[in-house]
Amino acid sequence: MEKSVNQQEKEKNENEEIKDMGQLTLEQKQGHKIHLMSIIGEIEGHETLSPNAKTTKYEHILPKLASIEDDESVDGVMLLLNTVGGDVESGLAIAEMISSLSKPTVSLVLGGSHSIGVPLAVSTDYSYIVPTGTMVIHPVRLNGLVIGAPQTYDYFQQMQDRITGFVAEHCFAPQERLEQMMMNTSMLTKDLGTILVGRQAVEEGIINEVGGIDEAMKKLHQMIDEIKQDGNELSSCP
């Protein structure tokens, strides 16, 4: 049976959304409309990166998140992460937007969620990591000229406190433990930091569970059902 014009147009729009922004709206299961959003490659800040690099542009993500919040037809958000990190300010801006959404949100770490990807992974209401997924926690770096003055080091410390404070607020790992992992000297031969693989991220209290897309989708559908049920109960009250 041939597809209708509307179906063809819908598929075309979906393909363009995947190509341009790595996003897709799912609405086939349980009557829920779920927005699928991916954070991949390097998170681009105020400077445009090489066209050969895989990037996530914050100027694409922030308006989309605002649109999702304003769209009553969207029931929840699934966040897929495979990122090496990137611009700290932009990454934190995205994380703050996700954490402030009124819709249920679930994240899934695939491949890796390194550096500023850690706040992004914990910014959702619930988080998963695949068994082979990795998370790298390390100190903040600055590109370009660094002035060797006390104020520079204070700025570094302030930025690191913002990151560890956000992560600690949105997971079960205390800020002191996050700082210890960030300044670890025994794991990376030429750098500071800690690599967590799969279950280690759960044991440290950063990620909620080990699982894949099946578990993550089931959790999100469950959260949506609970909210809808609570809403129906409230609306039925005299």
Measured torsion, CA atoms of residues 145, 58, 117, 69, in degrees rounded to the nearest 10 = 150
* DSSP-based three-state secondary structure for 144: coil
Cα 83 from Cα 40, distance rounded (Å) = 5
User: Of 4, 82, 68, 79, whose CA–CA distance to 33 is shortest?
Assistant: 68
User: Of 102, 137, 143, whose CA–CA distance to 119 is shortest?
Assistant: 137
Catalytic residue among 32, 35, 114, 138: 138
Cα 156 from Cα 149, distance rounded (Å) = 11
**Could you tell me the two tokens for 71?**
């769209």
| Environment class of 58 (CB within 10 Å of its CB; exposed 0-12, middle 13-18, buried 19+) | buried
**Does 100 qualify as catalytic in the annotation?**
no
Catalytic residue among 90, 115, 123, 127: 115
**Does 115 qualify as catalytic in the annotation?**
yes
* Residues with a known catalytic role: 115, 138
